[in-house]
Amino acid sequence: MSVCVPAYFIDKIGFRLFVRPTFSNQHGGTFVLIEPGKVNDIAIVEPYFIGARPVTQVEWVAVMGSNPAKFQEGWSSGLRPIESVSWLDVQEYISRLNESDSGERFDLSGIWRLPTADEWEYACRAETTTRWYHSDRDADLDEVAWHAGNSGATTREVGQKKSNDWGLFDCHGNVAEWTASEIGAKRVTKGGSWLMESESTTSASRGLSAVDKRSDGIGFRLVWSPI
């Protein structure tokens, strides 16, 4: 099927979601998983739209009606990423979002969901092979990430650091992000957070958390996936 879609769309709730221009004809892509100490693999990803930034507190409240985030201080706290939500909480959020959404865009039907770890990393890297999407140097990390060395022990408003070449913000630091991928009974998180050192915020790094864990260092971003 060949369907021309724009580079991004803005949902009625305010989500700004991007798709790679090479996906305009609904083709997938490949990338090399570069992880120290492991054999490199090739990941295959299908076309999908992904959020330009993590879901914010105001976007969570718009669907769920309450705010569980730890970091709510300040007049602009609604623009900070939602955190202190478990993987199970996120599934309830996504279920409600899909129930309230028509599911129709660009003559396509689709659903909201979490990205897989491979989809997340593919979008984060934006065709780069460096440790972070902009550099291999620890000294450059402040350009793109809120991490243990500069966060002030708190989350920050989304979109304040330099984006990658595909327009995605906060892939490194601020909050780690739930994914749909699982290892055993746990779910993979990607990106690292405001409380982590540099090596835990690289494109390849990943964490594991129980599905019922609520952490002030874990949030998520959404995918809208044609079906």
How far apart CA 93 and CA 113 sit, in angstroms, is 10
For 166, the token pair is 């595909």
Lowest mean pLDDT among 23-37, 47-61, 183-197: 23-37
- Region 62-71: mean pLDDT is 95
- Region 9-20: mean pLDDT is 52
Q: What is the pLDDT of residue 93?
A: 95
- Region 49-77: mean pLDDT is 92
Higher pLDDT, 42 or 70: 70
Lowest mean pLDDT among 3-17, 48-62, 108-122, 125-139: 3-17
Residues in the chain: 227
Contact 172, 192 (CB under 8 A): yes
How far apart CA 181 and CA 193 sit, in angstroms, is 18
What pLDDT digit, counting tens, does each position of 116-143 carry? Answer: 998 898 889 888 889 999 999 999 999 9
CATH architecture group of domain 8-221:
Alpha-Beta Complex (3.90)
Contact 210, 185 (CB under 8 A): yes
Alpha helices of 65-211 — where are they, by DSSP H? 87-100, 117-125
Q: What is the pLDDT of residue 29?
A: 58
Confidence of residue 14 (pLDDT cuts 50, 70, 90): low
How far apart CA 18 and CA 115 sit, in angstroms, is 13
Of 181, 226, 171, 225, nearest in space to 50 by CA: 225
Torsion of the alpha carbons at 157, 205, 50 and 33, rounded to the nearest 10: 150
| Average pLDDT, rounded, for the chain | 83
Domain boundaries, the chain: 8-221
- Region 70-91: mean pLDDT is 96
Does residue 183 surpass a pLDDT of 70?
yes
Q: What is the pLDDT of residue 167?
A: 85
Of 212, 208, 145, 149, nearest in space to 173 by CA: 145
Name the DSSP class of 199.
Answer: G
How far apart CA 202 and CA 164 sit, in angstroms, is 13
How far apart CA 98 and CA 101 sit, in angstroms, is 5
Higher pLDDT, 40 or 24: 40
Residue whose tokens read 């492991």 = 38
Of 191, 174, 40, nearest in space to 114 by CA: 191
CA distances from 63 to 42, 76, 165 (A): 36, 19, 30
Angle formed at CA 69 by CA 141 and CA 118, multiple of 5 degrees: 50
Does residue 204 surpass a pLDDT of 80?
yes
